[in-house]
Amino acid sequence: MQRSATRDLLVGAFVAAGLAAIGYLSIQVGGLSYKGEGGLTLYAVFEEVGGLKERAPVAIAGVTVGQVAKIELDDLLRARVTLDLDAGLELPADSSASVRTSGVLGDQFIALEPGGEDAVLASGDEIAYTENALSLERLIGKFVHDSGLEEE
Amino acid sequence: MNALRTLGYRTLMLIVHLGRMAVFLAEIGKNGLRPPFRIRRLVGEIFDVGVLSLAIVCLSGATVGAVLGLQGYNTLTRFGAEGSLGAVVGLTLVRELGPVLTALLVTGRAGSAMAAEIASMVTTEQLDGLRMMSIDPIDFVVTPKAFAMLLVMPMLNALFVLFAFFGGYVIGVELLGVDGGTYVSSLEDSITFSDDVAGTLIKSVVFGALVGLIATYRGYNSEPTSAGVSAATTGTVVTASVSILIFDYVITALWGV
């Protein structure tokens, strides 16, 4: 069997490029990262989350600091949202969470508004102040109702 | 009556072939996981399957990405949603087109050659020669080829997808004027590892195993004639292509990737 250094070099380069491509797809594009224990998990209860979906971003002042891990119903039939946030985030205890929409028809995300208290939220705490998703249909309905257009 | 007999014979032969293929697969697995590891042979096969397929895979990837960018833009622009072009291009490629088109290209480029090579070794009695030297042809010839296919497919798939992202970027951003940052961030935001990238890797590994198995099986069991070589080559391309599409549906239906 003939041994060709050029061929071996090409095969090596090919394998390196292939593995690099897989790695790039997984890490950069797929967002695979090692998340150790100690991430901040917070809960927020909303009466209406609208079109919020799991893995939607959570942002403070527009900067993404985590994502929505889970959306479920609680005992009182409200939406209980689990937020998976970066470890080491020190959020004042009176911070508020609201469901917002990026752009007019964009995806929904959760915006956190930091409060002013000295005490900070620890993992497992619930965010006390929440603002529901703005429902355009409901707004229009309310407007129609209030202005008495219905009676005409 | 004769037609019925033919149908019965065909059905039985299909089952016989499936059984033989399973035994063949088990032999390849056994030889591949047990010493001697024929690394030299494997490197040679990776060269034939991977390095020589690289050009066609990358070129096709860039072209497919460019077409997707153009088609996606023309459709999305009706809804004013050009910003989602990256997501459309990315998800289509990673979940579906990348693994399937790569596997089809590799079948045509390397699978057919693999079957033809083994079939002509059958015709010229080279495999019998190996057996006379008490070298198992499955260990020496078949296993490195099948494993090379299995290893190379995910790499070619990843390269295809990256070149397609690039092709879509060139058309969407440079030519049609979608914002570059929007394209990249919508692409990266919409693709997740657990749902999409893991799925593309599972698909390409399964397709690699399929093509490797079918090509070597058809070559190994070919008639020792020149017509047998051509039948093995054609049969490989047809069987492998159809199997890829069927398995693609099954994997997508089962795991939603």
Q: List chain A domain ranges.
A: 1-33, 40-136
ipTM score: 0.81
pLDDT at B216 over 70: yes
pTM above 0.80, yes or no: no
Q: What is the pLDDT of residue B77?
A: 87
Best mutation target among B89, B92, B151, B162 (most A Cβ atoms within 10 Å) is: B162
Integer angstrom CA distances of residue B57 from A69, B82, B95, B153: 37, 27, 17, 11
**pLDDT tens, residue order, chain A (152 aa):** 456 788 888 888 999 999 999 888 888 877 766 555 557 888 888 888 877 887 788 888 888 888 888 888 888 888 899 888 887 788 888 888 888 887 666 678 888 888 888 888 888 888 888 888 777 777 788 788 877 665 54
Q: Summarize the confidence of residues B116-128 as an average pLDDT.
A: 92
pLDDT at B233 over 60: yes
DSSP characters over chain B: -HHHHHHHHHHHHHHHHHHHHHHHHHHHHHHHSSSSP-HHHHHHHHIIIIIHHHHHHHHHHHHHHHHHHHHHHHHHGGGT-GGGHHHHHHHHIIIIIHHHHHHHHHIIIIIHHHHHHHHHHHHTTHHHHHHHTT--HIIIIIHHHHHHHHHHHHHHHHHHHHHHHHHHHIIIIIIT---HHHHHHHHHHH--IIIIIHHHHHHHHHHHHHHHHHHHHHHHT--SSHHHHHHHHHHHHHHHHHHHHHHHHHHHHHH--
Q: What is the pLDDT of residue A20?
A: 92
Condensed to tens digits (0 to 9), the pLDDT of residues B41-81 reads 888 889 989 899 999 999 999 999 999 999 999 998 888 88
Condensed to tens digits (0 to 9), the pLDDT of residues A102-118 reads 766 667 888 888 888 88
What's chain B's average pLDDT? 90
Instruction: Using an 8 Å CB-CB cutoff, list chain B residues near A28.
Output: 188
Condensed to tens digits (0 to 9), the pLDDT of residues A41-55 reads 888 888 888 778 877
Q: Do B197 and A32 touch (CB under 8 A)?
A: yes
Q: Do B46 and A11 touch (CB under 8 A)?
A: yes
Size of interface A-B (CB pairs under 8 A): 74
Best mutation target among B38, B47, B160, B203 (most A Cβ atoms within 10 Å) is: B47
Q: Summarize the confidence of residues B233-243 as an average pLDDT.
A: 94
Best mutation target among A2, A3, A11, A35 (most B Cβ atoms within 10 Å) is: A11
Instruction: Using an 8 Å CB-CB cutoff, list chain B residues near A22.
Output: 154-155, 158, 201
CB nearest to B158's CB, from A1, A21, A55: A21
Instruction: Supply B45's token pair.
Output: 């096969």
CB nearest to B156's CB, from A10, A18, A31: A18
